[in-house]
Amino acid sequence: MFAARAGADYVHACEQNGHMCDVGEETVRINGYGLKIMFHNKDVRRLFTKESEGLIKHGLKPDGNCPEMDKKSDVLVFEVFDSGLIGEGAFHIVGMARHRLLKPDATLVPRAAKMFAAPIEYRFQNYQTLDGKHTIDLTNANRWRYRDDYEGVNLEKLPKTAWRALAKPKPFFNFDFYAWEENMQPKEEPMSFEIIEEGTFNAIAFWFDLEVDEETTLTTNPFAEHGEKGATWQQAVQYVEELTLKPGDSLKVVAAHDTYGISFRVDDSKLEFDRGQRRTKCPLYDGTWQAHHIEFKRVTDSLARTITQSPVAFRETCETAVACGSRPGDLKFEAWAGADFCTKFMA
């Protein structure tokens, strides 16, 4: 309706949800635009025009039906974004529209987007029951939250103690929606964050500035001041394996997109510290864990007494420690754990 009111001769509205189309059509008729706006209850990638070269034969689409549009359009207005920008297939939708439904000099609204990211601490805390008499400890669950996908979170609406940035935000991908062929190529981009706050790094928060036109920009920046964010999308939060960080650390991260979504991974090969030393540990609150810990300590103490009293046992234990560090896989150790044991014992 905004497009029709602005002077468009005709508007094609595309929506996959049938209920939304019903509501849209009724609203359009009530407002007097029923003859100017046509709703298509389908994916825009299934639309054709009579001008679709090489696809229309004898006035029909490849499936034998008539094309939905008479001619290609001058303007594409689209909102197919999620909190991570491209998770709803924006690149694919805009690319197909540019290829099949738009004139070569057509205008895109919005026209571009810029992405930003920051490492954050955003963890479960201890919660009190409603009666205030008991505490539920959920901190151990933090270690297992990491995964490749992200979720939408309104960080700016959370209490200030719920999360905090451990480094200043950095820009990464810039997307020009006119360059649809380039956007359809998966891409990776290295990032480096200089840590300024001590804390537990367990997530990457990322957001975008959406350039509607030369004068108007929408942002999902959680740090935006004076209401600049407004009622836009949430930020995206991807959890990673926890690491404790200190001011002065340099955190190397790789941002990637596969045209359907954005993801991050920590580049362990470029870390300036030992990941094994910076992992968070499981708190031994559970009785079973405590029993294992006691037994482990008993065995360790017994081993310590034996190797201090027997040169043969000491030599065998040294050989085992070296094997743990040099061939951890043979002993079913993770590499970091084997190296950690070898380093501590040989020191």
- The DSSP annotation for 239-297 comes to EEEEEEE-TT-EEEEEEEE-SS-EEEEE-GGG-SS-HHHH-------SHHHHHHHHHHH
Contacts of 195 (CB under 8 A, 6+ apart): 119, 166, 167, 201, 245, 246, 247, 248, 249, 250, 251
Three-class secondary structure of residue 1 per DSSP: coil
Q: Which residue has the higher pLDDT, 182 or 276?
A: 182
The whole-number pLDDT of residue 139 equals 79
Alpha-carbon separation of residue 338 from 14, 95, 323, 332, 344 (angstroms): 57, 49, 8, 9, 10
Count Cβ neighbours within 10 Å for each residue of 24-36 and write b for 16 or more, e otherwise. Answer: bbeebeeeebeee
For the stretch 14-32, pLDDT in tens is 999 999 999 999 999 999 9
Backbone angles phi, psi at 168, to 5 degrees: -70, 145
The architecture of the domain spanning 112-278 is Distorted Sandwich (2.70)
pLDDT (average), residues 132-145: 81
Q: How confident is the model at residue 154 (pLDDT cuts 50, 70, 90)?
A: very high
Taken in order 124, 138, 337, 246, the sign of the CA dihedral is positive
Whole-angstrom distance, CA of residue 15 vs CA of residue 43:
7
The whole-number pLDDT of residue 317 equals 85
Q: Which long-range contacts (CB under 8 A, 24 or more apart) does 159-165 make?
A: 162/122, 163/120, 163/121, 163/122, 163/205, 164/120, 164/121, 164/197, 164/199, 165/118, 165/119, 165/120, 165/197, 165/205
Contacts of 129 (CB under 8 A, 6+ apart): 135, 136
Q: Spell out the domain ranges in the chain.
A: 2-77, 112-278, 287-346
Min mean pLDDT across 55-59, 163-167, 285-289 is at: 285-289
Residue 49 neighbours by CB distance under 10 Å:
20
Whole-angstrom distance, CA of residue 13 vs CA of residue 42:
10
8-state DSSP, 342: H
Whole-angstrom distance, CA of residue 71 vs CA of residue 100:
10
Mean pLDDT computed over every residue of the chain: 90
Whole-angstrom distance, CA of residue 105 vs CA of residue 9:
17
For the stretch 262-280, pLDDT in tens is 999 999 999 888 888 888 8
pLDDT (average), residues 48-67: 80
Statement: the pTM of the whole predicted model exceeds 0.95: no
Alpha-carbon separation of residue 162 from 123, 157, 165, 272 (angstroms): 7, 10, 11, 28
Task: List residues bridging with 265 in a β-sheet.
Answer: 254
Position 128, amino acid:
Q
The whole-number pLDDT of residue 311 equals 83
The whole-number pLDDT of residue 282 equals 58
